[in-house]
A and B are shown apart, each in its own frame.
Chain A
Amino acid sequence: MEKINVTMTVNGKEETLSVEPRTLLVHALREHLDYTGAHIGCSSSHCGACTIDMNGKSVKSCTVFAPQAEGAEILTVEGIGSPDKLHAIQEMFKEHHGLQCGYCTPGMIMRSYRFLQENPNPTEEEVRFGISGNLCRCTGYQNIVKSIMAAADKIRDEANVEKKEIA
């Protein structure tokens, strides 16, 4: 099949890939760009293991064609923190045992990343609804919810400190 060029910004870096038009975004990210954080659990949008952030929205990258991401801003779990400075969500998942096998974790973290911008001060019920597109087989969600609530607190605290510093 003939290939086409697709250009997108992934984790702040502009990338141009030559792919078949039918290539799924998750395969483009994982196999062409080696961002293997996003995982494939169902290929049918049910499990959320492939969740990434695309143009400011949570997207299940297993059901988006790579050409649909032409010109898009994409953020994956590899792009939200660094080994020296983890994102608050990553830190809180570690702190509250919010993961076990780790397979759902990148998708879960990326959904939480967007969710906490949509709703920075959520109730437990809102968190549970907010991540209901992401399945986990190991944790029973209780500690994932706890991690996200703790991350919300931490992000708010950090923002307050920053505000004070500016003032």
Chain B
Amino acid sequence: MDDVKTPSREERKSALSGLGTSRKRVEDARFTQGKGNYVDDIKLKGMLFGDFVRSPVAHARVKNIDTSAALALPGVHAVLTAADLEPLGLHWMPTLAGDKQMVLADGKVLFQGQEVAFVVGDDRYAVADGVSLVEVEYEELPVVTDPFKAELKDAPILREDIADQKEGAHGARRHPNHIFTWEAGEKEETNKVLEEAEVVADEMVYYHRTHPCPLETCGCVASMDKVNGKLTVWGTFQAPHAVRTVASLISSIPEHNIRIISPDIGGGFGNKVGVYPGYVCSIVASIVTGVPIKWVEDRMDNLMATAFARDYWMHGKISATKEGKITGLWCHTTADHGAFDACADPTKFPAGFMNICTGSYDIPVAYLAVDGVYTNKAPGGVAYRCSFRVTEASYFIERMIEVLAQKLGMDSAELRSKNFIKKDQFPYRSALGWEYDSGDYHQAWQKAMTSVNYKQLREDQAKQLQLFKDGKSRKLMGIGLSHFTEIVGAGPVKNCDILGLGMFDACEIRIHPTGSAIARLGTISQGQGHATTFAQILASEIGIPASDITLEEGDTDTAPYGLGTYGSRSTPVAGAATAMAGRKIRAKAQMIAAYLLEVHDDDLEWDVDRFSVKGAPEKFKTMKEIAFASYNQAIPGVEPGLEAVSYYDPPNMTYPNGAYVVVMEIDVDTGVSDIKQVYALDDCGTRINPMIIEGQVHGGLTEALAISMGQEISYDEQGNVMTGTLMDFFIPTAWETPNYETDYTETPSPHHPIGAKGVGESPNVGGVSAFSNAVHDAFKPFGLTQAHMPHDHWRVWKIAKDLGLHS
């Protein structure tokens, strides 16, 4: 008997690869061998291709569309225009923001790249030929690209379809190009505090228009099976269930006859949340032709037409005492939504969670107003690797803190520290209405400052400045600080829904007779490694090794309903559902174990992978034994089998936070910045897989680097997209990307079953401010208060020139 060594508790725990282990990813075997299954890899019998004729101009009436030459081409099967979609009621579609959007140009076009006609043909080449032969007659109209000119009295009216509507989806509209005004906080009280304040800093902070630009563009394959009446759509969908419901509502196909499948997704970053004309046209074309239709946009389509991000003009005022205690915050934002309001925000939040803009600070009173306007630009406004408008909010407050510090003549690290919400103030009610769940900002800040040796950095910076002033160097050193508080995990059904669908999420677990399991979720991974990490959560909950648990997502015929993956909601919501479903399994397992051991339920205790009798640990039943018993024993009062499902409605959002520091050296004569150090401390609550967390932080920081230092979607005055290819749209290569130092503190969320908060988006939220603040910091001694991103070489060179540093 003693020959067989009984594994210790620690050994049994370690065999599970549960919470807190850097488990290697199960996804990688197929990805490294080229065996991923992305949308464009799908090949069905008889499948045709579709692609768009797009508008070359930003604002015009469509006088005529001649499809005859295209249709005459062998290999072209059909050309759809708005006139073909109108009888089906599909020439317009609802957006996620309560607006509607043209599927195909209905009488006019409102942005360059807008979808005008959909050509269907044998293959990509035949379709490209067809697209080039569709002749469209445009009558050009005046263009509005400046959101501040959109509401002028004589501004051209963009949305003639709603020109007379005084009420929009989010309240009163004051101009045909005005979408909504959204307010939070105390207006009068804030104004009063600002008027009476000892010090007020006033600045316009612009967070420019950019684009999530995942490496895989958007696409789908739609297949209408006329024999059984079932529509199947494989697509790049971050929210497959929501797509199914929307598809049913707009097409009148009963929801049970629609199957949406998100296969492997090549990055999302918010780009793949919305519903695009390509999906609708592919579905219609499949219904019309009776064969599957594939549509995959190219990179230029992607950058020009599908979901941009940001484009917020944030005017701020922040007040403080002379000693640096913040007394109030005021913000008015002008939000450029493009031609249709297609933001992907919860219904009641047309400006997302922009009201997290009081950041990490204890600010007694605040007021926020956001005005959304239409311009002749592509629709979107998605959360590009952040929760809804959170990176805008965080950038705003972190710039305002810097500007205030400058005005006070105070070190901005000290100003932050002086105003952080204190540990004992949690749960903390912010002036703009959120209840922050937990945090220890002072601890994180101190750890960060010590780790980077902040005092030494400032001394080095002063020396470098002296060298510059003495004419011995042409370089300046910038130290960028940021402390951010995110709000993620949307969200409680009581105030969070998308198109009326509550933002809960779900997990369903089946334990097989031999003790392995399958779990299905309403989310969908786009690189986050859900198949690896959710199995870890479950392993710790139910005592089955993570390697024995299959994770499945993305097929609406098999997965339980969920609102999908974006806004860092997978871990806070679906992760919680996973833990709760696991606990249901365990509760039933306890009854079975009690029966098998002939004791009362209460006499048992859970021990890693088994239930054992209290005080007699040698008497136990492992989860594996319990699983088998659930299939082969007739247990009085207990149903056979071992399955559970949990639909989790989170009681609150989670509030990940962190402290970041970026150090760079800037060449004043070329505008080139050399990044010397990037330190990122994240507090994402309980850490599920440290390896994956680190990978997420590296990736998010690189997207922050891109956005702050060069990436943008820019338009000229005629509404031409100036950054429509990867030649112009900046994505850093390995050569430009620095190495990162990651660090952490761990303050679990008190309301999440395992205390996890989510991390995927934190590094973007915190990173953009840190990079941008470093550029500003370098030029601070010369009086710079605000320079708009992106800080590409030319713009940085221009800062130096305008400050007279080029002599």
Contact = CB atoms under 8 A, between A and B. Distances in A.
A149 interface: no
A41 interface: yes
Contacts of A103: 36, 38, 214-216, 266-267
Interface in B25-44: 25, 27-36, 38, 40-41, 43
A39 B703 contact: no
14 contacts: A40-B296, A41-B217, A42-B299, A77-B34, A102-B27, A102-B264, A102-B527, A109-B32, A128-B735, A134-B733, A137-B269, A137-B731, A141-B698, A142-B739
Contacts of A133: 733
> Which of under 10, 10 to 19, 20 to 34, or 35 or more describes the interface residues of A?
35 or more
Nearest to B527: A101
A135 B695 contact: no
Interface in B184-233: 213-217
B24 interface: yes
A139 B266 contact: no
A98 to B, nearest CB: 8
Interface string A28-67: 0011001111111111101101000000000000000000
Contacts of B43: 31, 34
Contacts of B700: 140
A93 B529 CA distance: 14
B1 interface: no
Contacts of A78: 33-35
Given A27-B124, A101-B526, A145 B734 contact: yes
Given A41-B215, A44-B726, A137 B735 contact: no
Nearest to B214: A137
A28 B644 CA distance: 47
A137 B32 contact: no
Contact of B528 (A39, A94, A100): A100
Given A76-B34, A94-B24, A132 B216 contact: no
B265 interface: yes
Contacts of A161: none
A35 B695 contact: no
Contacts of A132: 733-735
Interface string A129-155: 101111111111111110000000000
Given A1-B125, A100-B529, A140-B701, A90 B726 contact: no
B691 interface: yes
Interface residues of B, number: 56
Nearest to A110: B34
A10 interface: no
B267 A138 contact: yes
Contacts of B215: 39, 41, 47, 49, 101, 103-104, 135-137
A139 B698 contact: yes
B258 to A, nearest CB: 26
Most buried by A among B25, B266, B269, B739: B266
Contacts of B735: 128-129, 132
A135 B24 contact: no
B32 A105 contact: yes
Given A39-B266, A103-B216, A94 B29 contact: yes
A6 interface: no
A140 B699 contact: yes
B95 interface: no
What are the 3 closest A-B residue pairs judged by CB atoms, nearest first? Answer: A37-B34, A101-B527, A103-B266
B737 interface: yes
Nearest to B217: A41
B725 A44 contact: yes
Contacts of A8: none
A101 B734 contact: no
A99 interface: yes
Contacts, number: 175
B273 to A, nearest CB: 16
Interface string A89-128: 0110111010111111110010000000000000000011
A81 interface: yes
Given A77-B33, A99-B31, A140-B698, 4 more contacts: A23-B125, A30-B41, A97-B691, A143-B695
Given A39-B38, A131-B734, A99 B698 contact: no
Contacts of B41: 30, 36
A22 B692 CA distance: 42
B40 A40 contact: yes
B722 to A, nearest CB: 16
B112 interface: no
A86 interface: yes
A77 B31 CA distance: 10
Nearest to B385: A137
Contacts of A100: 267, 527-529, 695, 699
Contacts of B528: 100
B33 A46 contact: no
B734 A138 contact: no
Contacts of B526: 101
A102 B527 CA distance: 7
A140 B25 CA distance: 17
A105 B299 contact: no
A83 interface: yes
B727 interface: yes
Nearest to A78: B34
Nearest to A38: B34
Nearest to B129: A1
A155 B733 CA distance: 25
Contacts of A38: 34
A97 B269 CA distance: 19
B17 to A, nearest CB: 15
A139 B695 CA distance: 6
B702 interface: yes
A74 to B, nearest CB: 13
Contact of A143 (B266, B527, B529, B698): B698
Most buried by B among A22, A44, A78, A129: A44
Most buried by B among A39, A44, A135, A137: A137
A90 B29 CA distance: 8
A30 B42 CA distance: 10
A137 B213 contact: yes
A34 B43 CA distance: 9
Contacts of B726: 42, 44, 46-47, 135
Contacts of B27: 102
A41 B699 contact: no
A20 interface: yes
Given A101-B527, A137-B267, A144 B34 contact: no
Contact of A94 (B25, B527, B698, B725): B25
B527 A90 contact: no
Contacts of A106: 34
A137 to B, nearest CB: 5
B734 A144 contact: yes
A76 to B, nearest CB: 7
A47 B729 CA distance: 12
B28 A93 contact: yes
A104 B32 CA distance: 10
Contacts of A104: 215
Contact of B737 (A36, A46, A101, A140): A140
Contacts of A131: 733-734
Contacts of A102: 27-28, 30-32, 36, 264, 266, 527
Given A102-B264, A140-B701, A142-B698, A44 B727 contact: yes
A43 B298 contact: yes
B454 interface: no
B92 interface: no
